[in-house]
């Protein structure tokens, strides 16, 4: 008996010591290794292919633009050097393994066949070693072009400043920082992270996931060890001294900026003048309800620095304003927010939380009065929890929320679209700081956003320019999720039994949770598309010419396909100004729009791509489908003009200032495209600044998540049962979730400043 007890004791001690050694090795990172940015494998695109591509587009150019080129690119691409991208690459999350920076180069050059791209990994996950590795990979990508004055692909360096606030007053949103050059003196010494929730999620709190993941999927432990090392290497970088200017910091510290003006100041101090591009502005996955653009127009935040905005990405369309609200705005010092009721065409999530609690309460046999009281409590409690409202309802399923929180009549909207951080809202507001009642509005220097438009992919699998074909949902979109229900507890906290009580968490309690746990990881996967493209009008393919077009805002956005779009203003003397221009005028002048549909696609990949990449890489990287245009173009169905007259008084309701649609022109089916001219006599009559932009609509195509929520509705049109396209085990891996949806292009606005 003693021998048995002794043996058990020895075994227990050995197991305990073994576990301590194992845990220590895991914490120290010895069980994993740092992944590299890789090296591009394919040489430059044959010159004949580039020439043929240009000639095919120029056949459709208006006479006044026959020497122009339209180039397409993606300025928002993540590799597995971003924490969330590495997480989605894990086997437990349907991942195919890590996606290094170099993959984005080969994908851009041969899978999507675009003209320019930039890496924009989250700065919050940056380390000195990763920044060096990223620079090396992007420089190698650029070096593949045989003629640097006329390259087949222009590669750029950048990072994402991923700012998230807990409450509206603290939220400024995500910005991509893109540099023109590639040499050390032309780019930041290190990525500059955002302080706050994003850094906690991507640098600190995510560490708590790794032990759960390794134990849950032990057979694939090697890649989880690498993920653990990835996170440890972020934590090991010491914080920079916040009192020192950016130019005086050592290369091996972790630099951060709290506000947009701090980010700008740190870049200025290094002698840099990059593009800083807001994106995902209305994506409610992380934007607190009640957030607006207004505070970012304050001069201290340097709004003039943001000359471009990403209007569309694989995370949805941030264009459209709507008057609905998720919460009733209260002073930020208030503990509770209120839940707004009776909004036609929109159901706030807090209202749906009350409905779920009420339904459960009635099912338990409690009285109607009791259940209504609990529902009222649930509504305001959920409103006070912000983006984490769903954590208050025990054992809720993503389908339980029906279509609450969603814009039902927007074009491919983001998840939980926030209308007051939409592009249209931002263009319609003015900043009246320093303006008094005695000021003359006509001469007052009102602060405004004057954005040019681009679109990009925001792909997290190193795939630049994914929207050329609607294929490979789990790679070309951000759809991701666990492969089996048994892994759910690693990500979803609340698995308690459903009841009729809202599990309200205070703001302090919510702030102790990791960022990923606060958000709806499951439901939002139904809202991901393949992504858009940035288009520029240039005279050539060089880096200088592309950069100049971006700076002067002669840009437009597409929802993925390569539509051609021109938008110009002609004054009384015949002078022309292109999209993106700002003009002083007393009359509107004449506007001209010309739009041409994208090429229909042949299946598979062209021969030159297959020869460059090889069969295996064509299959693994491009999933066997490349940009492969036929000789037939899609048809433009209509051209719409949107007019916005920015505020001249803080009391002007924004909804009254946005004319969407101001004019609509139905197009005759024609492979050569569609043209439209118009004037606006109302500009001179109103005597106020006005902007106009064109929206070209192309015939529908089957679109991944074209219908994010498919509802069964009652006789009054209310959603009573929802079907979602999930990224996890509940939706088949082979399901592409296709629904017909039109294709769009948005010109940058032409800004008219009224001058007598």
Binned at pLDDT 50, 70 and 90, residue 19 comes out as very low
**With pLDDT > 70 as the criterion, what percentage of the chain qualifies?**
91
The residue to which tokens 């606030």 are assigned: 165
Q: How many CB atoms lie within 10 A of CB 100?
A: 21
Compare 594 and 385 and report the one with higher pLDDT: 594
Binned at pLDDT 50, 70 and 90, residue 167 comes out as confident
Give residue 498's pLDDT: 82
Query: Is residue 453 a contact partner of residue 746, using CB atoms and an 8 Å limit?
Result: yes
pLDDT in tens, 84-142: 999 999 999 999 899 999 999 999 999 999 999 999 999 999 999 999 999 999 999 99
C-alpha–C-alpha distance, residues 182 and 202, integer Å: 26
Residues with Cβ < 8 Å from 26, sequence gap 6 or more? 210, 211, 214, 225, 228
Output the CA–CA distances (angstroms, integers) from residue 137 to 149, 183, 457, in the order listed.
20, 13, 20
Binned at pLDDT 50, 70 and 90, residue 16 comes out as very low
pLDDT in tens, 319-349: 999 999 999 976 655 557 899 998 989 999 9
pLDDT in tens, 364-383: 999 999 999 999 999 988 99
pLDDT in tens, 572-595: 888 899 999 999 999 999 999 999
89, two tokens = 């690459």
Asked whether the predicted pLDDT for residue 681 surpasses 70, the reply is yes
Q: How many CB atoms lie within 10 A of CB 215?
A: 11
Tell me the average pLDDT of the chain: 91
Q: Show the 3-state SS of 216-252.
A: HCHHHHHHHHHHHHHHHHHHCCCECCCCCCHHHCCCC
C-alpha–C-alpha distance, residues 14 and 24, integer Å: 15
Give residue 333's pLDDT: 52
pLDDT in tens, 192-223: 999 987 777 666 666 666 777 888 888 999 99
pLDDT in tens, 58-74: 889 998 888 889 999 99
Give residue 225's pLDDT: 94
C-alpha–C-alpha distance, residues 236 and 239, integer Å: 9
Q: Show the 3-state SS of 256-305.
A: EECCHHHHHHHHHHCCCCCEEEEECCCCCCCCCCCCCCHHHHCHHHCHHH
Give residue 17's pLDDT: 39
Binned at pLDDT 50, 70 and 90, residue 514 comes out as low
Q: Report the half-sphere exposure of 72 (CA within 13 A, side-chain side).
A: 31
Output the CA–CA distances (angstroms, integers) from residue 515 to 83, 90, 143, 364, 396, in the order listed.
12, 18, 39, 34, 19
Query: Is residue 551 a contact partner of residue 307, using CB atoms and an 8 Å limit?
Result: yes
Strand residue runs (E) in 128-222: 154-162, 174-179, 192-194
Handedness of CA 387, 391, 393, 397 (dihedral sign): positive
Compare 503 and 726 and report the one with higher pLDDT: 726
Q: Tell me which residue of 526, 525, 467 sits closest to 93, measured CA to CA.
A: 525
Beta bridge partners of 431: 447
**pLDDT average, residue stretch 459-465:** 97
Binned at pLDDT 50, 70 and 90, residue 493 comes out as low
Compare 394 and 400 and report the one with higher pLDDT: 400
C-alpha–C-alpha distance, residues 417 and 639, integer Å: 24
**With pLDDT > 90 as the criterion, what percentage of the chain qualifies?**
79
- Helices (H) and strands (E) in the chain — how many of each? 19, 27
Give residue 501's pLDDT: 82
Query: Is residue 147 a contact partner of residue 104, using CB atoms and an 8 Å limit?
Result: no
Query: Is residue 508 a contact partner of residue 514, using CB atoms and an 8 Å limit?
Result: no
Give residue 408's pLDDT: 94
User: Helix, strand, or coil here: 378?
Assistant: helix
pLDDT in tens, 239-281: 999 999 999 999 899 999 999 999 999 999 999 999 999 999 9
User: Helix, strand, or coil here: 562?
Assistant: coil
Asked whether the predicted pLDDT for residue 10 surpasses 60, the reply is no
pLDDT in tens, 536-555: 999 999 999 999 999 999 99
Does this model's pTM top 0.85? My answer is yes
C-alpha–C-alpha distance, residues 175 and 79, integer Å: 17
C-alpha–C-alpha distance, residues 101 and 677, integer Å: 44
């Amino acid at each position: 008996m003693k021998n048995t007890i002794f043996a058990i004791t020895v075994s227990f001690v050995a197991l305990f010591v073994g576990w301590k050694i194992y845990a220590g090795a895991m914490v120290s990172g010895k069980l994993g290794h740092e992944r590299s940015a890789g090296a591009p494998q394919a040489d430059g695109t044959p010159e004949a292919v580039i020439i043929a591509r240009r000639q095919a587009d120029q056949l459709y150019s208006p006479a006044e633009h026959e020497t122009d080129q339209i180039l397409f690119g993606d300025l928002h691409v993540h590799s597995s050097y971003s924490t969330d991208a590495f997480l989605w690459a894990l086997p437990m999350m349907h991942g195919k393994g890590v996606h290094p920076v170099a993959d984005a180069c080969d994908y851009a050059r041969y899978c999507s066949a675009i003209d320019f791209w930039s890496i924009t990994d989250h700065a919050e996950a940056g380390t000195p070693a990763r920044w060096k590795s990223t620079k090396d990979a992007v420089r190698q990508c650029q070096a593949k072009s045989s003629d640097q004055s006329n390259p087949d692909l222009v590669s750029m360096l950048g990072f994402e400043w991923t700012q998230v606030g807990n409450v509206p007053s603290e939220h400024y949103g995500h910005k991509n920082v893109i540099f023109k050059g590639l040499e050390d003196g032309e780019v930041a010494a290190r990525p500059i992270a955002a302080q706050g929730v994003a850094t906690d999620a991507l640098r600190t709190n995510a560490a708590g996931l790794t032990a759960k993941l390794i134990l849950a999927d032990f057979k694939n432990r090697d890649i989880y060890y690498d993920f653990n090392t990835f996170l440890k290497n972020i934590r090991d970088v010491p914080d920079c001294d916040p009192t020192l200017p950016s130019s005086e910091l050592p290369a091996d510290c972790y630099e951060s900026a709290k506000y947009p003006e701090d980010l700008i100041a740190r870049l200025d101090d290094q002698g840099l003048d990059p593009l800083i591009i807001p994106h995902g502005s209305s994506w409610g996955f992380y934007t607190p309800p009640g957030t607006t653009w207004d505070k970012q127009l304050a001069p201290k935040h340097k709004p003039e620095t943001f000359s471009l905005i990403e209007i569309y990405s694989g995370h949805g369309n941030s264009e459209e304003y709507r008057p609905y609200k998720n919460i009733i705005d209260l002073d930020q010092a208030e503990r509770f927010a209120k839940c707004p009721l009776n909004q036609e065409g929109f159901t706030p999530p807090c209202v749906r939380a009350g409905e779920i609690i009420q339904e459960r309460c009635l099912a338990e046999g409690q009285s109607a009065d009791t259940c209504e009281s609990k529902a009222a409590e649930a509504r305001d409690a959920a409103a006070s929890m912000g983006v984490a409202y769903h954590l208050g309802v025990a054992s809720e399923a993503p389908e339980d929320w029906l279509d609450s929180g969603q814009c039902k009549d927007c074009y491919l909207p983001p998840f939980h679209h926030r209308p007051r951080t939409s592009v249209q809202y931002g263009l319609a507001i003015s900043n009246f700081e320093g303006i008094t009642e005695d000021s003359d509005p006509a001469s007052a220097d009102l602060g405004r956003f004057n954005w040019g438009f681009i679109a990009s992919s925001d792909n997290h699998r190193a795939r630049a320019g994914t929207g050329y074909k609607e294929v490979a949902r789990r790679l070309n979109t951000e759809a991701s999720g666990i492969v089996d229900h048994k892994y759910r507890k690693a990500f979803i906290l609340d698995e308690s039994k459903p009841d009729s009580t809202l599990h309200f968490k205070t703001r302090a309690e919510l702030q102790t949770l990791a960022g990923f746990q606060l958000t709806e990881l499951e439901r939002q996967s139904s809202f991901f598309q393949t992504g858009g493209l940035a288009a520029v009008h240039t005279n050539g393919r060089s880096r200088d010419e592309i950069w100049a077009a971006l700076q002067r805002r002669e840009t437009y956005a597409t929802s993925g396909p390569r539509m051609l779009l021109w938008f110009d203003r002609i004054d009384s003397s015949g002078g022309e100004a292109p999209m993106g221009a700002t003009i002083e005028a007393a009359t509107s002048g004449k506007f001209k729009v010309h739009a041409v549909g994208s090429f229909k696609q042949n299946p598979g990949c062209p021969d030159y791509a297959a020869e460059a990449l090889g069969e295996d890489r064509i299959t693994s990287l491009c999933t066997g489908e490349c940009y492969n245009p036929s000789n037939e173009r899609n048809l433009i169905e209509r051209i719409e003009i949107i007019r916005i007259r920015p505020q001249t008084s803080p009391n002007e309701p924004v909804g009254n200032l946005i004319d969407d649609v101001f004019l609509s022109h139905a197009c005759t089916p024609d492979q050569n495209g569609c043209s439209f001219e118009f004037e606006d006599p109302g500009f001179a009559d109103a005597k106020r600044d006005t902007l106009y932009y064109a929206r070209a609509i192309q015939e529908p195509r089957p679109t991944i998540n074209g219908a994010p929520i498919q509802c069964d509705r009652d006789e009054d049109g209310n959603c009573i049962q929802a079907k979602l396209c999930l990224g996890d085990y509940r939706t088949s891996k082979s399901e592409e979730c296709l629904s017909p949806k039109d294709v769009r292009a948005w010109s940058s606005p032409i800004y008219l400043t009224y001058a007598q």
